[in-house]
A and B are shown apart, each in its own frame.
Chain A
Amino acid sequence: MDLTTFWFILITVLWIGYLVLEGFDFGVGMLMAVLAHDDRERRVLLNTIGPVWDANEVWLLVAGGATFAAFPEWYATLFSGFYLPLLLILVALIVRIIGIEFRSKRPDAAWRRRCDVAIVVGSVVPALLWGVALANIVRGVPIDADGEYVGGLLDLLNPYGLLGGLVTLSIFLVHGAFFVGLKTEGPIRERAISLGLRAGLVAGALLTVFVLWTAGRDDSATVWILGALVVGAFALGLLNALAQRDGWAFAGTAVAIGLLVVTLFAALFPDVMVSSLDPAWSLTTTNASSTDYTLRIMSWVAVAFTPIVLLYQGWSYWVFRRRIGVHHIPG
């Protein structure tokens, strides 16, 4: 396997890490609007992700940095082309961080309400837009012979792209609900699982349509098989939630999200940005890549340090493994 393919796989892995991890952060953020009945319950939700959300978001920074380093042309075209959606995502992530970090720093109810709005909006917007962006990368966008994006915002708001957005939005909500089911105890846990199951039916339907559409467009056996596995994993997650097996329910949605990323990137390969104007103008793993020398150095760094990161990040989840309930929230 050549290094460009290796880096395409590595970037896929980084997106899996990001969307599986921050996916439930976004879900928990959205649930702040609907699941919790009072301030204490909202704090229970917030504290399920409190110690880990920041490290989860670093996956995005590393995915972005790795794309810059390994495929500069991809990074340049994608980030300058998807300008306004990325601006919205950035603003959403910023207000969400401020909401999470500063909510409990002041006691007054009005302040906390404003922070709740920041957290909810800051979770909904990126959850939706990442799906729109990923779907459009696979579907193809207007890219000219120089590798420049020549479309506008409206080019991204096509049915396939919008469906992709609804899929990530809804499955992150379910993923977040099952995470809350795994991390809390008492009435809020039961409500989370029940809400996750109801939302799961809608999300499952959207996911199935999206996967069929993706496989139909691509029409390769690999994508059909991967797509079937995505839907299967998601269905298993729902069944386990129904059976009150919290860990397996969460594992189901996590695997489904991970496999969805694999499906999309498999459909994309060997392109990295598809040109809808002329297939010859698409960016590929070879024409968008860095030099072999750079990729070799980056490979050594990635191979040496990724396992260490996984170890200590995993350890932090182990340290905070206890379920929390309203009685754990200090006055």
Chain B
Amino acid sequence: MEVLDLARWQFGITTVYHFFFVPLTIGLSVLVATMQTAWWRTGDERWLRLTKFFGKLFLINFAMGIATGIVQEFQFGMNWSDYSRFVGDIFGAPLAIEGLLAFFLESTFLGLWIFGWDRLRPGVHLACIWIAAAGTVFSAYFILAANSFMQNPVGYTLNAEKGRAELTDFGAVLTNKVLLATFPHQIVGCFMVAGAFVAGVALWHVMRHPDRDADAFRPAFRLGAAVLLVAGLGTMITGDFQGKVMTEVQPMKMAAAEALYDDASPAPFSILTIGTLDGSEEVFKLEIPKLLSFLGTGSFDGEVRGIDSLQAEYEDRFGPGDYRPNVPVTYWTFRAMITAGGLAMAMGALMLWSTRRGRTPSSRWLLRGAVVLPLLPMAANSFGWIFTEMGRQPWVVFGLMPTASGVSPSTSVAEVATSLATFTLLYGTLAVIEVRLLLRYVKAGLPELEPPADPDDADAPLAFAY
């Protein structure tokens, strides 16, 4: 293996792993804030106990997110120094702004929220979790601004003398059409994860311990399931918009998503193909006529470009080379994303139906489904990102810089192999710790409420302590 392959595997592993925690952080911060708001407005202690229960799960997840997050910022420089030199003038700014505007908000106000139960007035304390939640959303916007530049570079000029891209219009970077499509898609994707998480955990409690706090877990389940369904609809609407932008700015990615080799108007939407993995020869295929044309262009007869003609065009534009992404990966991750998301919505709807008018379902399958449910939108998020990043290949910045040119010239195979092995082992160990802790606190159920301490009593125990 060369440095390039190792560096790509490392980026893939560390980023996919980090991104198990990010969508849940973004979505669950808002849902926990919602639960606390329900308690604040109604005084109903069920919502307070739910806030503390899901708050604890949120924090276990958040800790993993920050622990694995620093690597993200460092490895651009460590493994991708020539990439960093090439795009730093543009790419660095959203990263720095993300830290200054978002990470400080998140970390400071979460600290206040976790430890501040007995130190802040209830309204101020509630505001802290909302501010932290807002911080997570800002963070998504700026990091997606950086990523969108890699998909669709805008607002720059090439400086041949310095061999780098230079920023000419920061407003264009912050209103990149890929960003405007990806940001809403990602945010609703986060809410699917959080909704499915709350719904799955709550339904498991309702079914497994119907005599223990079912009066609290039932509304929590309905809240989670409703969020899952609404957000799921949101991903369909925003995904449709995103598909049209992708067809326009990255037609090769769209063609690879569909394993569409020849230009077609109208183009059918492939549901699945059995044959070769990359769909170039099929034994059996299932497709919906004209749908891809509609998804990609908004017209049932619109033309969708195929891989082969785009490859020919790119050879003219960029010189000889292979401009095709890995088609099996893009084709199947695209399908896996849609399947996992759709399945989560179907299960959410079924579960809502089975709990209508106060019923408590007892099906063993539904109980198993409650355990699987939180994993589905999480998988959909991962598949979506693997699709979007692999679909951009062989470019690191589309049309400007091939991935192979971005890797650090000064790092050795031994160095990258060491760090890849280290992170893989460390992250594997942490996954075991994390899952065990989450299960432990899920099973523990709602905490009992302690009577609030007298705020003027300097000797009272802390409301929360590590």
Contacts and interface: CB of A to CB of B under 8 A. Distances in A.
Contacts of A76: 77, 81-82, 84-85, 88, 408
B74 interface: yes
28 contacts: A47-B465, A50-B115, A52-B111, A55-B104, A58-B107, A61-B73, A65-B97, A65-B98, A66-B99, A68-B88, A69-B95, A75-B84, A80-B79, A91-B422, A91-B426, A94-B70, A94-B71, A98-B430, A101-B67, A102-B433, A104-B465, A105-B60, A146-B409, A148-B410, A290-B166, A294-B92, A302-B100, A319-B119
Interface string A85-105: 011001101110110111111
A79 to B, nearest CB: 3
Contact of B466 (A46, A66, A309): A46
Given A76-B88, A98-B67, A64 B74 contact: yes
B458 A322 contact: yes
Nearest to A149: B410
B175 interface: no
B91 A83 contact: no
A43 B462 CA distance: 12
Contacts of A330: 461-462, 465
Q: How large is the interface on A (under 10, 10 to 19, 20 to 34, 35 or more residues)?
A: 35 or more
Contacts of B422: 87, 91
Given A75-B77, A329-B462, A297 B100 contact: no
A97 B63 contact: yes
Given A93-B70, A316-B108, A319-B119, A62 B415 contact: no
A57 B74 CA distance: 14
B16 interface: no
Q: Classify the secondary structure of A's interface with B.
A: helix
Nearest to A77: B81
A61 B88 contact: no
A289 to B, nearest CB: 9
A72 B167 contact: no
Contact of A57 (B59, B68, B107, B433): B107
Interface string A41-71: 0010011001110110110111011111111
Given A80-B410, A83-B411, A54 B66 contact: yes
Contacts of A106: 437, 440
A311 to B, nearest CB: 10
Contacts of A294: 89-90, 92-93, 166-167, 170
Contacts of A150: 410
Contacts, number: 240
Given A52-B111, A62-B96, A305-B101, A97 B67 contact: yes
Given A76-B84, A102-B433, A86 B78 contact: yes
Contacts of B115: 50-51, 320
Contact of B461 (A70, A103, A297, A327): A327
B111 A316 contact: yes
Contacts of A94: 67-68, 70-71, 426, 430
Interface string B374-415: 000000000000000000000000000000000011110001
Interface string A302-331: 100110010011001001101010011111
B371 interface: no
Given A75-B84, A330-B461, A298 B96 contact: yes
Contacts of A252: none
Contacts of A327: 459, 461
B162 to A, nearest CB: 9
Contacts of A84: 415, 418
